[in-house]
Amino acid sequence: MNHNSVGLAVHEVLAAVLQVRDGQLQVLLWQRGIEPEAGRWALPGGRLGACEDVQASVLRQLAEKVDVREVAHVEQLGVFSAPDRMPQQRTVATAFLGLVPCVADPALPPDTAWHPITDVLDGSPRTAFDHGMIVRRARDRLRAKLSYTNLGFALAAPEFTVSALRGLYSAALGHRVSATNLQRVLARRGVLVPTGGTAAPGPSGGRPAALYRFAEHDMRVTDPFAVLRPPDS
């Protein structure tokens, strides 16, 4: 009998949970305390339960293991099944992208922390197994979908100014976004709705900024051919 067959593989679920924090797109990681790869940082998740589907499993494990319950959007990224992706035992992973709004601040266990994605992809901290590749896949999926869907709702507060929304898009996309262009594009697509309210003026005073909200909180394609490019491209 071939003990490396897929039929004997362990099935795990992993979550690349992203949030804009402190002006940067960050990913949630926990530090492994045991071998293999003790001390390295990993995506939260675990083995698929016998009586649950993969999405229910990943949401359960985020709530139980890292106390993250305010996930505004979750979608499957892909299945990672390289025979050598985990030592000792063949393990197939179903990975998910999860997005947490900027106003959420879950209470994390001591071994869990947010890390700027740019640092993680530069190798600091060092990630376990193939988790760095999954983080990159999640970042790229988010960037693509911000261009042609209304997925910004999953990063934003319930109400926001256009300037605040621009900051979220700029952090997620990795380049500066024009507030005027962003408002025009999203308004044309019917994504933004004015609340009628205004934000409190800042320290320098000035005219109060209008508040907006997203029209929907379920993802939909708004412009299948759109790409939000850097200003000089």
Residues of the domain holding 83: 6-135
CATH number at residue 155: 1.10.10.10
121: left (phi over 0), alpha (psi -120 to 50) or beta: alpha
- Give the Cα separation of 136 and 97 in Å (integer): 11
Domain count of the fold of the chain: 2
- Over its length of 233 residues, how does the chain's per-residue pLDDT go in tens digits? 344 444 578 999 999 999 999 999 999 999 999 999 999 999 999 999 889 999 999 999 999 888 888 899 999 999 999 999 988 889 999 999 999 999 999 999 999 999 999 999 999 999 999 999 999 999 999 999 999 999 999 999 999 999 999 999 999 999 999 999 999 999 899 999 999 999 887 666 678 899 999 999 999 999 888 888 787 65
CATH number at residue 91: 3.90.79.10
Residue 219 domain flag:
no
pTM: 0.92
Q: Are residues 68 and 121 in the same domain?
A: yes
Residue 171 domain flag:
yes
Query: What tokens does 204 get?
Result: 């320098």
Residue 153 domain flag:
yes
Closest CA to 26 of 135, 118, 116, 154: 116
Task: Judge whether 30 and 51 are in contact, CB under 8 Å.
Answer: no
Q: DSSP string covering the chain, please? A: --TTSGGG-EEEEEEEEEEEETTEEEEEEEE--SSSSTTSEE-SEEEPPTTS-HHHHHHHHHHHHS-----SEEEEEEEE--TTSSSSS-EEEEEEEEE--TT------TTEEEEEHHHHHTTSSPBPTTHHHHHHHHHHHHHHHHHHB-GGGGTS-SSB-HHHHHHHHHHHHTS---HHHHHHHHHHTT-EEEEEEEPPPBTTB-SPPEEEEES-SS--BS-TT-----TT-
Q: So what's the pLDDT on residue 9?
A: 85
Q: Are residues 103 and 154 in the same domain?
A: no
Taking residue 90's Cβ as centre, other Cβ atoms within 10 Å add up to 18
Amino acid at the residue 8: L
Q: Are residues 190 and 99 in the same domain?
A: no
Q: So what's the pLDDT on residue 1?
A: 37
Of 106, 135, 164, the domain-final residue: 135
